Amino acid sequence: MCELGEWPDMNQEAIYHEAFGAYAFPLGGHRLKIRLRAKKGDLQSVAAVHEDRHPHRPGADLGIVPMEKVGSTMLHDIFEAVLHSKTRRVKYWFHLSDGTHSAWYGERGFAESRMMCPPFHYAYITEKDLFDVPDWIDDGIVYQIFPERFANGDPSNDPEDVQPWGGEPEGYNFFGGDLAGITKKLDYLSDLGINVIYMTPVFLSPSNHKYNTTDYYQIDPQFGTLEDLKELVRQAHALGIRVIMDAVFNHCGSDFFAFQDVIANGKKSPYWDWFFIEDEPVTMKPLPNYETFASYVYTMPKLNTAHPDVKAYLLDVARYWIEEADIDGWRLDVSNEVDAVFWREFRQVVKKAKPEALIIGEVWHHSGPWLQGDQYDSVMNYWFKEAMEDFFAKQTIGVEAFHALLVQTQTSYKDQANRGMFNLIDSHDTARFLTACQEKEERFKLAVLFQLAYPGMPMIYYGDEIGMKGATDPLCRGTFVWEEEGQNADILSWYKTCIRLRRTIPALRTGNYRLWYMNAPGNVYAIVRGTDSAQPAGVLLNNSALRQKLSIPVAWMEREELTDRLTGRTYPITDGQLHLEVEPYQGFVFV
């Protein structure tokens, strides 16, 4: 085995690979993607050497694949390669070089020769275990709606204490938004260019947010009826728009029938074990003696999803709304606090009911355990949101840290999960992004351009496209401004342009993602989408208040000129470089 002293310039402790998870995963029946991590700047080249795990003649069909350095975090370089296997049985080694020294790396460490180095094994690529996600997600542009605040389409179902539309949003007030309102505005959404609606909960509940569910089988009368939901889905589907609903299965509301029975009957209730209660009597105030959502939210008792009756009830809810209303998937609230066994069964039920249904978890931190292909399709990408806020809105990090955060996010997950990420910049749980930008529209618009050009599914929070503002909950939950004089027409036009470019440039939807150019002093950042396609696209951003002259290598495009699709202006390529002047906070989309 190699000793550290034999290769003084390589940090052997930083070399890492494991033959599962985000480091080794099938892309299909005969293709295996592998990743290797190394200390930043240590390795000049890496090659993957592979063969069948049971070769007839060892070495006869040895494959050698150069690995691409796809990016760097603040500490590590990440290398990738795709191995093709006829037999689906793969063993492989890594050959590492710093330009002067070389070594082999396998599952037991380092060696001077391949024959002395035990390989990594991916025993068999089984079809049943492939991580399959819906094909339509590559084209998905998501629009999140908080139904109570989007549009009032049927005043007859307004609550008694409804307030005038446009009033100050508070934690407990109502403005009359409903399902009919969403249905009446579908043409607006179609014209905007979105094709997926994600609605926060619509089931019976005493709150305006509906996250404390009273009845999982009943549409809240303030929002309408079952037929109103069916009509919304029917009309949305006719326009090519899918509808995702919110599953709140971590907890229910305190008015939920099972919890009310527990309050009335204590341990004699057949539903006592549906919850996590310390002892009887059940105490709600001043502090609940049972587990809840977050900390002591007595109106939201936590459900015991490991209980077979709770599991059966909630799985039937998941199936019922797909079959009854033809919805297209579920977003899972507080999903990281629900047991994995439940989510594995949930996936089986949902995919059986509608194979193309989408399952998106709410996880604000590293989501790898839930994204192995047996639970969610993907998650709400809060890592992306936080990086976007720090770089564009607050400008607390520079371009190098921003890129490092994106590389860390991309390489922490399997490709399938990255395709389905809900790439948000704000939501009903955060301050609106324009407010986070201190209402500096130039920063906001630059962030929107990048969001619409980045891999995954861009998620637009209702009203962002017309310049709505608001600090965190409840101020981020204001009523939609439907009067044109109250809308920011420039921002709305910008959204439509960015969405149109994503929908008309294939590389912005399905192409891979690579760094093109980075200028740390000038805070200029550029990526390429689709270097693996016939027509890649380059996205360049000047996230600074400086006017800058740039000369940028264009190795990814064999052309004499590039056209910026935002302005229609054409720029010549001279000696392999693109020369241009960029204005403060200017963005480009080159093809």
Task: Give the CATH number, domain containing residue 33.
Answer: 2.60.40.10
Whole-number pLDDT of residue 3: 47
For the chain, what is the domain count? Answer: 3
Residue 7: is its pLDDT beyond 70? no
The residue among 128, 160, 191 that closes a domain is 128
C-alpha 212/C-alpha 301 separation (Å) is: 9
Q: Are 178 and 152 in contact (CB under 8 A)?
A: yes
* From 178, 362, 377, 464, active-site residue: 362
How confident is the model over 198-242, as pLDDT tens digits? 999 999 999 999 999 999 999 999 999 999 999 999 999 999 999
Give the side-chain half-sphere CA count within 13 A for 388.
25
266: number of CA atoms within 13 Å, CB side?
Answer: 4
Q: Name the nearest CA neighbour of 524 among 498, 549, 499, 556.
A: 549
Report residue 327: phi and psi, to 5°.
-70, 165
Q: Is 349 exposed, middle or buried (0-12, 13-18, 19+ CB in 10 A)?
A: middle
Cα gap 337→464, rounded to integer Å: 30
Looking at residue 562, what is its pLDDT? 94
Answer positive or negative: Cα dihedral of 371, 377, 383, 384: positive
pTM: 0.96
User: What is the mean predicted confidence (pLDDT) over 46-51?
Assistant: 98
In a domain, 319, yes or no: no
- 195 assigned to some structural domain: no
Last residue of a domain, one of 128, 160, 192: 128
- 3-state class of 521 per DSSP? coil
Residue-level pLDDT at 4: 40
> Does residue 6 have a pLDDT over 70?
no
Would you say residue 290 lies in a domain?
A: yes
| Residue 374 is among the residues annotated as catalytic for this protein | no
> Where is average pLDDT lowest: 269-278, 300-309, 519-528, 550-559?
550-559
pLDDT tens-place string over residues 388-423: 999 999 999 999 999 999 999 999 999 999 999 999
Radius of gyration over every alpha carbon of the chain, rounded to an integer in angstroms: 26
Q: Is 3 one of the annotated active-site residues of the chain?
A: no
Does 464 reside within a domain? Answer: no
Predicted confidence at residue 425, as pLDDT, reads: 98
For 277, the domain range is: 251-304
Q: What is the pLDDT of residue 8?
A: 61
CB 218 within 8 A of CB 175: no
pLDDT for position 10: 79
Cα gap 563→540, rounded to integer Å: 12
Closest CA to 339 of 359, 360, 309, 369: 369
Q: 570: which strand partners?
A: 563
Any domain includes 521: yes
Summarize the confidence of residues 183-190 as an average pLDDT: 98
Question: What does the pLDDT look like over 311-347, one tens digit per residue?
Answer: 999 999 999 999 999 999 999 999 999 999 999 999 9
* Distance set, CA 265 to CA 261, 271, 272, 282 (Å): 6, 9, 9, 10
Residue with tokens 């380059």: 538
For residue 531, is pLDDT > 90? no
Give the end-to-end CA distance of the chain in Å, rounded to a whole number. Answer: 49
Where does a domain end: 104, 128, 152?
128
Residue 189 located in a structural domain = no
Catalytic pick among 51, 228, 333, 465: 333
Asked whether residue 53 is assigned to any structural domain, the reply reads yes
CATH number, domain with residue 262: 3.90.400.10
In a domain, 54, yes or no: yes
